[in-house]
C-alpha cells in the first residue's frame, strides 16, 4: 500500500544502499590501487633490490660486530654513509653507552684422559676460567631444578645442562624459549650450589650440529661468578655418553672472556619526513650489532639491510609518505638492549608521537607474515583489509596478534598504544645458524631476502596510508 511514510522509508533505504555501494566501490577501488602498488614494490625489490649487496659489504668487509667493539663502530659509520646516499631528510647518530664484553682467545675443552675435543663457546657476559684452565668432574642434568637432588655433590663440579631441543615444534622460537632461561640464569643457580663452571647444551634445532651457539648469560650479585660455556649438540651427546660409561669423567675447560668497561657508541637513525602529518612517526628497523662469531648475517644483517632497502624501494617508486618514516639501527640488542633503551628514553622525553613500529630481527628467510602487537579488533581489521593483498599472490599469510621484536618491546614500554609489527620469515632453519660461526652471508638466499624486503615495504606503505583507519 502506498503511503507517504512508506515512500520516506523507501527513499531512506535507497540512499543507504547507494551509500553502501559507493563505499564498497571506493573500498574496492582503494584495494585495487593498493594491489597495483604492491605489484610495483615486489617488482622493484626483485629487480633493483640492494639489500643483498649491502649485506655482502656488512658481513664480508666488516664482519661480526658485538656492541662496543671497533667493528661495531665501523658498522655504525658505514650504515650512516649508505643512509646518506638516499634522499632522507635527516641522518644522524644517537649516543648509546654499552658495556663491552670481549671473548679473548679461542676457548678450549676436552675430555680428560681421551683428550677428545668438545666444541664450546663462552656464553656472552661470562667470566674467564683460570688462565691455565680448570679440570673437574661433571654433573649432568636436563633441568636446573634437577640440581637440588644432588645437594652437596655439586660442589667443585662442572654443571652440565643437557636438555635437547623439542624438534616437534614448527615455531622454532617457541622451542628456543622453552630452553633459553636455563642459559641466562643457570650459572648463578649452579654457583649457589658450589659448582666451578657451567656447560650449557646449545639451543640448536639439529642433533647433528657440532657448532656451539653462544648467547647472553648473567650472574646474581652476592653469588660467585663462574665461567659459563655453550657446548654443541653433538659434543653434548659425546660428553653424556662418556659420563654414562664413567660417572667420574673429567673435563678440561679454558676461556679468557672479560668485561672491558663502558664504551660510547651509537644507534644510527634516518628520517624521511611525512607530507601530511610530519609529527606522527613510523619507526622501522632492527639491530646492527651481532654476536662475536660468524658474520651476523641472518642475525641481524638481513633485518637492518632489509628495512633500509624497504624504504629505498618506496623512494625508488616516487612514493611520498604521509607520516614521518624513521629508520633505526639499534645498537646492543644482543647483550644489553641499551640502544633501544636510549631510543625509548629520548622519544619519551621529547613526547614524540610514534604511531607504529616495524621490526625485523628473525632472519632473512622467505617471508611468512607479521606478528602484531595491537588490540584484537585492530588485528581483525588488518586480517580483513591487508592480508588478502598478500596471501595468495605473495605467499605472505601470517597476520596474528603477537609480541613485538626485542628492541621495539623495550622502547615500546613508553608507548603502550603504538601498533607494532614483528616481521616473521620462515622459522625452520633460523636456529641452526643463530649465534654461531655458521651465520654467514652464504647462508642467505637473495630471492628470499628481497621477497622479505618487498613484504616489509608493502606493509610500510599500507601502514603509512591507512593507519588512521585502524
- Nearer of residues 205 and 300 to Zn ion, judged by Cβ: 300
- Strand 323-330 and strand 277-287: the pairing is parallel
Closest contact distance (angstroms) between CB of 396 and Zn ion is: 21
Cα angle 318, 324, 329 (rounded to 5 degrees) comes to 95
Interface pattern 215-234 for Zn ion (x via CB under 5 A): --------------------
> Which 95-114 positions form the footprint of Zn ion (CB under 5 A)?
none
Q: What is the CB neighbour count within 10 angstroms for residue 349?
A: 9
- Nearer of residues 238 and 434 to Zn ion, judged by Cβ: 434
Closest contact distance (angstroms) between CB of 378 and Zn ion is: 26
| From candidates 73, 254, 361, 407, binder to Zn ion by CB under 5 A | 361
Closest contact distance (angstroms) between CB of 436 and Zn ion is: 13
| Cα–Cα distance, 412 to 343 (Å, whole number) | 10
Rounded (10°) angle between helices 302-316 and 4-48: 120
Closest contact distance (angstroms) between CB of 204 and Zn ion is: 16
Q: Is 407 in the site for Zn ion (CB under 5 A)?
A: no
Closest contact distance (angstroms) between CB of 294 and Zn ion is: 12
- Nearer of residues 42 and 291 to Zn ion, judged by Cβ: 291
CB 389 within 8 A of CB 462: yes
- Nearer of residues 140 and 361 to Zn ion, judged by Cβ: 361
Closest contact distance (angstroms) between CB of 301 and Zn ion is: 10
- Nearer of residues 300 and 341 to Zn ion, judged by Cβ: 300
- Nearer of residues 361 and 464 to Zn ion, judged by Cβ: 361
- Using the contact rule CB under 5 A, the part of the chain among 176-184, 210-218, 320-328, 361-369 near Zn ion is 361-369
Cα angle 94, 352, 313 (rounded to 5 degrees) comes to 70
- Nearer of residues 209 and 361 to Zn ion, judged by Cβ: 361
Q: What is the CB neighbour count within 10 angstroms for residue 440?
A: 20
Closest contact distance (angstroms) between CB of 65 and Zn ion is: 12
| Cα–Cα distance, 388 to 378 (Å, whole number) | 16
Interface pattern 274-313 for Zn ion (x via CB under 5 A): -------------------------xx-------------
Collapsing DSSP to helix, strand or coil, 429 comes out as: coil
- Using the contact rule CB under 5 A, the part of the chain among 2-10, 174-182, 358-366, 380-388 near Zn ion is 358-366
Alpha helices in 355-398 (DSSP H): 376-385, 387-394
CB 257 within 8 A of CB 251: no
Cell numbers linked to 299:
642475525
Closest contact distance (angstroms) between CB of 453 and Zn ion is: 17
- Nearer of residues 300 and 418 to Zn ion, judged by Cβ: 300
- Nearer of residues 176 and 272 to Zn ion, judged by Cβ: 176
Closest contact distance (angstroms) between CB of 236 and Zn ion is: 24
CB 234 within 8 A of CB 112: no
Binding-residue total with Zn ion (CB under 5 A): 3
> Which 416-455 positions form the footprint of Zn ion (CB under 5 A)?
none
Tell which residue, 418, 420, 276, has the closest CA to residue 352.
Answer: 418
Closest contact distance (angstroms) between CB of 335 and Zn ion is: 11
The single-letter DSSP state of residue 328 is E
Tell which residue, 113, 161, 125, has the closest CA to residue 141.
Answer: 161
- Count Cβ neighbours within 10 Å for each residue of 78-105 and write b for 16 or more, e otherwise: bbbebbeebebeebebbebbbbbbebee
- Using the contact rule CB under 5 A, the part of the chain among 354-362, 370-378, 430-438, 443-451 near Zn ion is 354-362
Q: What is the CB neighbour count within 10 angstroms for residue 171?
A: 11
- Using the contact rule CB under 5 A, the part of the chain among 146-154, 168-176, 276-284, 353-361 near Zn ion is 353-361
| Cα–Cα distance, 231 to 158 (Å, whole number) | 13
- Nearer of residues 340 and 389 to Zn ion, judged by Cβ: 340
**Which positions touch Zn ion (CB under 5 A)?**
299-300, 361
Amino acid at each position: 500500500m502506498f503511503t507517504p511514510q512508506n515512500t520516506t522509508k523507501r527513499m531512506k533505504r535507497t540512499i543507504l544502499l547507494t551509500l553502501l555501494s559507493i563505499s564498497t566501490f571506493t573500498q574496492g577501488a582503494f584495494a585495487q590501487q593498493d594491489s597495483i602498488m604492491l605489484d610495483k614494490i615486489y617488482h622493484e625489490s626483485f629487480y633493483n633490490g640492494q639489500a643483498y649487496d649491502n649485506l655482502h659489504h656488512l658481513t664480508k668487509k666488516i664482519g661480526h660486530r658485538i656492541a662496543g667493539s671497533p667493528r661495531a663502530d665501523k658498522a655504525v659509520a658505514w650504515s650512516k654513509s649508505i643512509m646518506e646516499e638516499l634522499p632522507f631528510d635527516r641522518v644522524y647518530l644517537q649516543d648509546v653507552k654499552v658495556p663491552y664484553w670481549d671473548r679473548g682467545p679461542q676457548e678450549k675443552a676436552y675430555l680428560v684422559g681421551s683428550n677428545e675435543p668438545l666444541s664450546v663457546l663462552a656464553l656472552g657476559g661470562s667470566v674467564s676460567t683460570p688462565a691455565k684452565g680448570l679440570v673437574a668432574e661433571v654433573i649432568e642434568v636436563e633441568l636446573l631444578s634437577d640440581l637440588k637432588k644432588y645437594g652437596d655433590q655439586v660442589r667443585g663440579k662442572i654443571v652440565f645442562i643437557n636438555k635437547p631441543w623439542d624438534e616437534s615444534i614448527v615455531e622454532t622460537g617457541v622451542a628456543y624459549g622453552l630452553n633459553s632461561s636455563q642459559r641466562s640464569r643457570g650459572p648463578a643457580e649452579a654457583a649457589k650450589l658450589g659448582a666451578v663452571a657451567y656447560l650449557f647444551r646449545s639451543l640448536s634445532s639439529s642433533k647433528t650440529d657440532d657448532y656451539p651457539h653462544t648467547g647472553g648469560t648473567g650472574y646474581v650479585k652476592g653469588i660467585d661468578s663462574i665461567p659459563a660455556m655453550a657446548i654443541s649438540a653433538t659434543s653434548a651427546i659425546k660428553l653424556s655418553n662418556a659420563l654414562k660409561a664413567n660417572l667420574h669423567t673429567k673435563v678440561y675447560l679454558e676461556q679468557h672472556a672479560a668485561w672491558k668497561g663502558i664504551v660510547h657508541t651509537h644507534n644510527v637513525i634516518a628520517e624521511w619526513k611525512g607530507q601530511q602529518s610530519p609529527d606522527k612517526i613510523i619507526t622501522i628497523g632492527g639491530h646492527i650489532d651481532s654476536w662475536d662469531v660468524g658474520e651476523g648475517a641472518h642475525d641481524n644483517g638481513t633485518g637492518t639491510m632489509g628495512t633500509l632497502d624497504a624504504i629505498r624501494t618506496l623512494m625508488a617508486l616516487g612514493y611520498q609518505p604521509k607520516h614521518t618514516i624513521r629508520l633505526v639501527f639499534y645498537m646492543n640488542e644482543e647483550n644489553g638492549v641499551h640502544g633501544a633503551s636510549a631510543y625509548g628514553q629520548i622519544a619519551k622525553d621529547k613526547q614524540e608521537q610514534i604511531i607504529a613500529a616495524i621490526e625485523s630481527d628473525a632472519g632473512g628467510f622467505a617471508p611468512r607474515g607479521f606478528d602484531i602487537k595491537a588490540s584484537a579488533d585492530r588485528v581483525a581489521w588488518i586480517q580483513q583489509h591487508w592480508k588478502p593483498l598478500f596471501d595468495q599472490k605473495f605467499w605472505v599469510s601470517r597476520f596474528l596478534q603477537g609480541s613485538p621484536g626485542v628492541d621495539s618491546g623495550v622502547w615500546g614500554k613508553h608507548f603502550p598504544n603504538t601498533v607494532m609489527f614483528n616481521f616473521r620469515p620462515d622459522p625452520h632453519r633460523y636456529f641452526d645458524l643463530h649465534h654461531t660461526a655458521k651465520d654467514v652471508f652464504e647462508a642467505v638466499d637473495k630471492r628470499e631476502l628481497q621477497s622479505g624486503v618487498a613484504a616489509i615495504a608493502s606493509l610500510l606503505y599500507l601502514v603509512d596510508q591507512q593507519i588512521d583507519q585502524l
